[in-house]
Structure 1
Amino acid sequence: MTAVKRFALLYTASNVFFFHSLKYFTTGSSGVPNIPEFMGVMVVDGVQTGYCDSNNKTLKVQQDWAQKILENNRKQLDWYTQKCSEDQPNVFRAHTVRLKQQFNQSEGVYIIQRISGCEWDEHTDRVAAVLQYGYGGEGFLEFDVNTLTWIQLKAEADVIKQRWNTERTRTKQNEIFLTQVCPEWLKMYVAGGKSSLQRTVLPSVSLLQKSPSSPISCHATGFYPHRAVMFWRKDGEEIHEGVDPGEILPNHDGTFQMTVDLNVSSVTPEDWSRYECVFQLSEDAIITKLNKTAIRTRKARRIDGGERNAFDSFYLLILWFLCNVMLEHVALKNSRSTSWRSSQRRKIKWFYVKCFSCFKYASCSCS
Structure 2
Amino acid sequence: MKTLFLFLFFCHGSSPVKHSLKYFVTASSGVPNFPEFVGAAVVDGHLAASCDSSRKILEPKQEWMKTLFENEPLHLDWYNAECFETQPILFKATMYSLKQRFNQSGGVHVFQRMSGCEWDDETGEVQGFNQYGYDGEDFMSLDLKTETWIAPKPQAVTIKLRWDAEKTRTKMFLTQTFPEWLNKYLAFGKSSLQRTELPSVSLLQKTPSSPVSCHASGFYPDRASLIWRKDGEELHEGVDLGETLPNHDGTFQMSADLKPSASEDWGKYECVFHLSGVKDVVTRLDKAAIRTNWETEKPGDVTILLTATAVVLPLILIIAAAGFIVYKMKKVKPRPSPAADSSELSESLNPET
SS in 2 for 1:225: coil
* Distance in 2 between residues matched to 1:151 and 1:91, nearest whole Å: 20
Residues 277 and 290 in structure 1, CA contact (< 8 A), matched pair in contact too: no
- Answering whether residue 274 of structure 2 is matched by residue 280 of structure 1, we say yes
* Distance in 2 between residues matched to 1:272 and 1:37, nearest whole Å: 59
Task: Give the number of equivalent residue pairs.
Answer: 277
* Distance in 2 between residues matched to 1:270 and 1:125, nearest whole Å: 45
* Distance in 1 between residues matched to 2:28 and 2:241, nearest whole Å: 34
Taking the TM superposition and a 5 Å limit, the aligned residue runs for 1:330-345 are none
- Answering whether residue 109 of structure 2 is matched by residue 110 of structure 1, we say yes
The aligned counterpart of 1:187 is 183
1:216–1:23 Cα change, 3 Å: same
The aligned counterpart of 1:314 is none
- Structure 1, unmatched stretches of 5+, are 1-11, 298-367
* Distance in 2 between residues matched to 1:160 and 1:205, nearest whole Å: 53
The aligned counterpart of 2:239 is 243
Code of the residue aligned with 1:277 in structure 2: it is: C
Structure 1 vs Structure 2: percent identity of aligned residues?
A: 56
- Structure 2, unmatched stretches of 5+, are 1-14, 294-353
1:206-265 deviations in Å (ceiling 9; x for gaps): 33456666544322233223332212234554333321112334456554332212233x
Query: More relative contact order in 1 or in 2 (CA 8 Å, sep 6+)?
Result: 1
The aligned counterpart of 1:75 is 74
- Answering whether residue 216 of structure 2 is matched by residue 220 of structure 1, we say yes
Deviation at 1:197, TM superposition (A): 2.8
The aligned counterpart of 2:160 is 161
1:16-50 deviations in Å (ceiling 9; x for gaps): 2xx54322123333443223333333122443322
The aligned counterpart of 2:130 is 131
The aligned counterpart of 1:203 is 199
Code of the residue aligned with 1:286 in structure 2: it is: V
Q: Which has the larger radius of gyration?
A: 2
Deviation at 1:116, TM superposition (A): 0.9
The aligned counterpart of 1:261 is 257
* Distance in 2 between residues matched to 1:216 and 1:92, nearest whole Å: 52
Superposed CA RMSD in Å reads: 3.2
Deviation at 1:285, TM superposition (A): 2.0
Code of the residue aligned with 1:226 in structure 2: it is: D
Residues 203 and 289 in structure 2, CA contact (< 8 A), matched pair in contact too: no
Structure 1-normalised TM-score?
0.63
SS in 2 for 1:284: coil
1:276–1:137 Cα change, 3 Å: same
Residues 214 and 256 in structure 2, CA contact (< 8 A), matched pair in contact too: yes
Residues 273 and 291 in structure 1, CA contact (< 8 A), matched pair in contact too: no
Residues 271 and 282 in structure 2, CA contact (< 8 A), matched pair in contact too: yes
1:57–1:87 Cα change, 3 Å: farther
Residues 47 and 254 in structure 1, CA contact (< 8 A), matched pair in contact too: no
Code of the residue aligned with 1:44 in structure 2: it is: V
